[in-house]
Amino acid sequence: MKPTLQDLIKLYNNTESRIERANLWLHIEEWAEIFAENKYPNEYETSLYYDEDYKDLLNIQREAFKKGYLSAIEDLILK
Q: Write down the pLDDT at residue 16.
A: 92
Burial (CB count within 10 angstroms: exposed 0-12, middle 13-18, buried 19+), residue 25: middle
Three-state SS at 37: helix
Could you tell me if 65 and 38 are in contact, meaning their C-beta atoms sit under 8 angstroms apart?
A: no
Q: What is the pTM of this model?
A: 0.75
Residues 5-55: tens digit of each pLDDT: 889 899 999 999 999 999 999 999 999 888 888 877 766 666 677 777 877
Residue 78 has pLDDT above 80, yes or no: no
